[in-house]
């Protein structure tokens, strides 16, 4: 069971996924999309339709979870702290340590993906999050 199970379902799903991306050394696509483990015949219109509907449902769940996080001050603060810990707003370079620099850049890459997802849902709330963070 996820340690964040006290959170409502859509937000819980997003947080669980986010934490898995940030903390897991390897994230494979089927971890996020169980339907990809099932046999699939792209020439079967019914299977294509079923997969498209599942993808739309997942996308809506993700958008709802992101909106839920961004609509609360605590959620925005938590997301911002994750982005900061992934060095989203700073340098990833470590002089004389190319492996450390590459590792840091990988973390930053995850933060950029998270930022893009947040921005797609609510650019206004991102601006609010930045203002709140600068006031800390």
- What is the domain count for the chain? 1
Q: How confident is the model at residue 40, as a pLDDT? A: 83
Q: Is residue 75 part of a domain?
A: yes
Q: Is residue 4 part of a domain?
A: no
Closest by Cα among 65, 64, 38 to 51: 38
Q: Is residue 3 part of a domain?
A: no
pTM of the model: 0.66
Q: Which domain holds residue 113?
A: 9-25+42-134
Q: How confident is the model at residue 39, as a pLDDT? A: 84
The ranges of the chain with pLDDT < 70 are: 1-36
- Count of C-beta atoms within a 10 Å radius of residue 69: 24
Q: Is residue 35 part of a domain?
A: no
Q: Is residue 31 part of a domain?
A: no
Q: Is residue 1 part of a domain?
A: no
Q: Is residue 34 part of a domain?
A: no
Q: H-helix or E-strand containing 71?
A: none
Q: How confident is the model at residue 136, as a pLDDT? A: 73
């Amino acid at each position: 069971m996820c340690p964040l199970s006290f959170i409502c379902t859509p937000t819980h799903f997003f947080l669980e996924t986010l934490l898995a991306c940030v903390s897991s050394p390897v994230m494979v696509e089927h971890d996020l999309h169980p339907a990809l483990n099932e046999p699939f015949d792209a020439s079967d219109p019914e299977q294509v339709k079923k997969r498209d509907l599942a993808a739309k449902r997942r996308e809506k769940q993700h958008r709802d979870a992101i909106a839920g996080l961004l609509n609360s001050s605590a959620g925005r603060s938590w997301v911002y702290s994750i982005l900061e810990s992934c060095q989203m707003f700073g340098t990833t370079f470590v002089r004389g340590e190319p492996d450390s620099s590459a590792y840091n850049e990988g973390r930053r890459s995850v933060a950029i993906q998270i930022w893009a997802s947040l921005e797609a849902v609510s650019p206004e709330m991102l601006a609010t999050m930045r203002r709140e963070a600068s006031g800390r």
